[in-house]
Every structure is written in C-alpha cells, then in structure tokens.
Amino acid sequence: MYKSFIFDLDGTIIDSERIGLEALQSTLRQIGILKDIEELRFSIGIPGLRTLEILEIADIPTTLNTWLEKQKPFMKHVPVFQGMIEVIAKLPNTAIVTSQNKKELQAGFEKLNIAHHFQSVICADDTEKHKPNPEPLELALKILNCKASEAIYIGDSVYDLRCAKSAGVDFGLAYWGAKSKEGFEDANYIFTTPNELLNCKQTI
C-alpha cells in the first residue's frame, strides 16, 4: 500500500472551515460586500490571497489581515476531527500540505501542539505555486524522500484532488470534512472515518 501519508489541514485534520468562511463573510461585510456563506465556499482549499484576488478586493493586504484577525479568537480552540491524531500517530512518514500561510498556522494549528506528529508541514509561503498546482505536494514528497506512487494525499476539496492527480499521487477523500462526494469521482478512496486510513498502511 502506502509508505507516506500526506494531509490537507482545514476540513481534513481540523474542523476549521466554517470559522474561515464566517470570518471572510464578516470581513467583506465591513467593506460593503455582502455574500452568503455558500457563495464563499470556492475559497476552501486555496490561499487567502488568491481568494481575495478572485473577489477583486481593492486593498488585499489590509483585507487579508482583517480576515486573519477575525479568525484568531476561534482558531485557538479549533477542534481536531475525532480519532485523527490517534490514527496519524500510527502512520509512517506523515506530512501536511496546506493553503494556509505561516501567519495563519501560528494563529491556530501551532497552538494545538500536534505538529510533532508530522515530518513536514508545507504551507503557502513555501512554494511559488499553490494547489491545485502540484508544486507543494511535490515538495512534500521530496522532503519525505518518497516516490509519488508510494504516497497518498488525503483532503476534502477539489483543489486537493487536482493537486494529487497532477503530482501523480493517489487521492483519498476525507468525507468527514467534505460531507459530499460530488466532484470526487476520480478519488482513489473515499474515507468516512480517519480510522479507515490504517487499512492503507504498507505492511512489511
């Protein structure tokens, strides 16, 4: 099976997507842009900077900072999906490839004290191109010293799927975070619980 397990972060390891969407909605409202949560779901899985570019925000640096500040109080207590850490502790060669930048990671993920479970954490600042481009996943493979055929990428967005396929890596849908199978017909696996990942661990 697989020697390395690479994970998306939001909606896969931590249940944070609603926090990000509501903070974005509130930030946009402050500058006179009214959007429903559903209209903002396109932002899941891509860097915040790219989200604001798509929304054609005039002052991106200020707006991005406001968005991050609104998330901070909630990200300190963001929940990890049930059973996730126990499973990751049993897996070999684990890494994270996330669209969060370092500032976002410091606001939430690093406070969870789970980073030691991963050999590498690749964030948006680490590569020039981002998901769905394969560059961040290819960097993770390089750090893990792992071939694409020996790894699986687990995520909850179509950007994660496209990133994996572009890198030649098998993809597993984190259904506990995605909550929909639409658009994931090309997924190699659909995992309903984190514990199912253990069935894909390479046996020696």
> pLDDT for 114-131, tens place per residue?
999 999 999 999 999 999
What is the rounded CA–CA span in Å between residue 76 and residue 71? 9
Residue 45, pLDDT score: 82
pLDDT for the residue numbered 111: 78
Nearest to 44 by CA among 9, 68, 5, 79: 9
> Would you say 133 and 97 are in contact if contact means Cβ atoms under 8 Å apart?
no
182-197 per-position pLDDT tens digit = 999 999 999 999 999 9
Could you tell me which residues are beta bridge partners of residue 201?
2
Q: Which pLDDT belongs to residue 203? A: 62
Q: What is the CATH architecture assignment of 4-15+79-200?
A: 3-Layer(aba) Sandwich (3.40)
Does CATH number 1.10.150 belong to domain 17-75? yes
Residue type at 147? Answer: K
Is 204 a residue whose pLDDT tops 60?
no
Tens digit of each residue's pLDDT (9 = 90 or more) over 60-90: 999 999 998 998 888 778 899 999 999 999 9
pLDDT band of 133, cuts 50, 70, 90: very high
**Would you place residue 110 in the very low, low, confident or very high pLDDT band (cuts 50, 70, 90)?**
confident
Other C-beta atoms lying within 10 Å of the C-beta of residue 25: 18
Average pLDDT over residues 164-187: 96
Is the separation of the CB atoms in 170 and 4 below 8 Å?
Answer: no
Residues of the chain with CATH 1.10.150: 17-75
Listed in order, the ranges of the chain carrying CATH 3.40.50.1000 are 4-15+79-200
The pTM score is 0.87
Q: How does pLDDT run across 8-40, given as a tens digit for each residue?
A: 999 999 998 888 999 999 999 999 999 999 999
pLDDT, tens only, 38-51: 999 999 888 899 99
